[in-house]
Amino acid sequence: MIFPYLSAIIFIPLVGAVAVAFLPQENRGIIRWVTAGFSFAALTVSLAVFAQFNLSSSSPQFVEKVPWIARFNIQYFVGVDGLSLPLVILTTLLTFLAVVGSWHIDNRAKEYNILLLVLETGILGVFTSLDLLLFFLFWEVELVPMYLLIGIWGGPRREYAAIKFVLYTLAGSAFMLVGILALYFTSNPRTFDMTQLAAASWALNFQMIVFALIFLAFAIKLPMFPFHTWLPDAHVEAPTAVSVLLAGVLLKMGGYGMIRVCFNILPDAAREYAPWLAAIAVINILYGAGLSMVQKDLKKLVAYSSISHMGYVLLGLAALNQVAVNGAVLQMFTHGAITGLLFFLVGAVYEKTHTREIAKMSGLAPRMPTLAALWVMAGLAALGLPGMAGFVAEYTVFVGAFGPWAWYTILGAAGIVVTAGYILWMIERVFFGPANPAQGLAHVGDAKRWYELVPLVTLMGVVLFVGINPSVVVNIINSGVLPVVARLGA
């Protein structure tokens, strides 16, 4: 029996959560180290999977398939391919960094760390499940810790934000469940197995309806205009590490689901809907960028920029060709790293200044040179500067999407100018210019503690590495995109 890598990745955090539950509440040091240890173990195993991943195979690898509820043909069926592996690594990495970045949280540290680990299990389950019901189960499991994390450790309007997040997602899930069941009851033999469902053929009308039902859940998660309003609220209220995970990986569950379920199983409907998706993608890009431009709250600015950046994912998907879909998946990965970094930076600045209001900050660069340098670099990464990961993804999306959707691509590309506008304007207002002595910011310091710097430096390293040597990630993604694109082109 070979080592069950994926089960190990999925359940190590859960075991960790149980272990932490038995630790004494007062001893926060041990709790943190144990949490960090378990999340690091998951990261290590996921990197081991990365090392052993076979690039030449386009079918799922590290498969574990055990009948679970045999009567309904429900299986415990997990596996990774090129689509999911980058996101699995992103999840384990960001969770580990989130644990490190939450070192300073003293309020109910034990529960906080337990919830982070449970959340990780839920997300990893979504990215590795190849059985639709299992996928749905993990999709729902992730909601509970997220609700509590926002609702307990959040800002002043945390309850509103948490409930809005959960209800919005659940509303989508309800439709998705109907869609999943529709697939189950029309398949022959009845199955939730995604690989078998993808191989089956469905009538176009049926595909259109089921696609819409399932897509809605993913559109809310992505988030796609006009289902995005939960995101700024959730982000603004959530604690830093939770925002990192929310933007870094939870949004990717939407994009991932679109490819894995909607495009892979219902390719004909995807072709029918593609023009609409491309149009909405452009709205996402420009609308999100415009909203970022006028935000007064640093964190809200970054939150709205996520909406804009996920528009590129949608645009890439709507193009349905190999280059663009690769770009879209790469954009999910790079956006996870870049936005994770940006949210860590927002948190770090907030820690020092105790405000997130852009107007109250000015000339911070001399006071916090390290943070300012990292902010500038992260901002440049977000606006798609070459040498950083974001450029590769966006450029690839544009190259792929220009063929089928020339005008939409042109409009989407205009988004990079607006993005440069709001990012540089924000950096100018926050970090440059004369220091503002009146605001009591005269004595703010730089980020110096290890648990502040480790997440920032690690993510910056990932962004630069992927930006300079994208083929490491692109080759993996491509192996997963190929079969989907083949189905879309058929």
Helix (H) or strand (E) holding 87: helix 84-101
Give the separation between CA 417 and CA 44, rounded to whole angstroms: 39
- Is-contact 232 299, C-beta < 8 A? no
From 179-187, 251-259, 263-271, 407-415, give the range in contact with other proteins by CB under 8 A: 407-415
Give the separation between CA 310 and CA 331, rounded to whole angstroms: 8
> Residues 150 to 169: which contact other proteins by CB under 8 A?
164, 167-168
Smallest distance from the beta carbon of 126 to other proteins, in angstroms?
24
Smallest distance from the beta carbon of 391 to other proteins, in angstroms?
7
489 binds other proteins per the rule CB under 8 A: no
CA–CA distance from 124 to each of 2, 24, 249 (Å)? 20, 28, 10
From 32-40, 109-117, 347-355, 379-387, give the range in contact with other proteins by CB under 8 A: 379-387
Tell me which long-range contacts 357-360 makes (C-beta under 8 A, separation of at least 24): 357/296, 357/297, 357/298, 358/295, 358/296, 358/297, 358/298, 358/301, 358/426, 358/429, 358/430, 359/296, 359/429, 360/436, 360/439, 360/441
Helices (H) and strands (E) in the chain, counts: 21, 2
399 binds other proteins per the rule CB under 8 A: yes
Identity of the amino acid at 385: L
Binding test (CB under 8 A) with other proteins, winner from 38, 40, 77, 230: 230
Smallest distance from the beta carbon of 35 to other proteins, in angstroms?
33
Give the separation between CA 2 and CA 208, rounded to whole angstroms: 41
- Is-contact 445 354, C-beta < 8 A? no
> Residues 326 to 345: which contact other proteins by CB under 8 A?
326
414 binds other proteins per the rule CB under 8 A: yes
483 binds other proteins per the rule CB under 8 A: no
From 28-36, 130-138, 243-251, 397-405, give the range in contact with other proteins by CB under 8 A: 397-405
- Is-contact 328 255, C-beta < 8 A? yes
Looking at the Cβ atoms of 320 and 413, the one nearer to other proteins is 413
Give the separation between CA 359 and CA 436, rounded to whole angstroms: 10
From 43-51, 197-205, 247-255, 400-408, give the range in contact with other proteins by CB under 8 A: 400-408
- Is-contact 214 175, C-beta < 8 A? yes
From 201-209, 269-277, 338-346, 398-406, give the range in contact with other proteins by CB under 8 A: 398-406
Binding test (CB under 8 A) with other proteins, winner from 124, 238, 310, 474: 474
402 binds other proteins per the rule CB under 8 A: yes
> Residues 427 to 466: which contact other proteins by CB under 8 A?
427-428, 431-435
Give the separation between CA 290 and CA 311, rounded to whole angstroms: 13
Smallest distance from the beta carbon of 412 to other proteins, in angstroms?
11
102 binds other proteins per the rule CB under 8 A: no
DSSP conformation letters of 129-195: B-BHHHHHHHHHHTHHHHHHHHHHHS-TTHHHHHHHHHHHHHHHHHHHHHHHHHHHHHSSS---BHH
Measuring CA to CA, which residue among 112, 172, 178 is closest to residue 145? 112
385 binds other proteins per the rule CB under 8 A: yes
Binding test (CB under 8 A) with other proteins, winner from 363, 370, 446, 465: 363
Interaction pattern, residues 181-220, with other proteins; x per rule: CB under 8 A: ----------------------------------------
Q: Residue 154, Cα to own-chain centre: how many angstroms?
A: 20
Give 74's strand partners.
69
Smallest distance from the beta carbon of 172 to other proteins, in angstroms?
13
Give the total of residues touching other proteins (CB under 8 A). Answer: 56
Interacting residue ranges for other proteins, rule: CB under 8 A: 164, 167-168, 225-226, 228-230, 287, 290-291, 293-294, 322-323, 326, 363, 365-366, 380, 385-387, 391-392, 395-396, 398-400, 402-403, 406, 409-410, 413-414, 416-418, 420-421, 424-425, 427-428, 431-435, 470-471, 474-475, 478
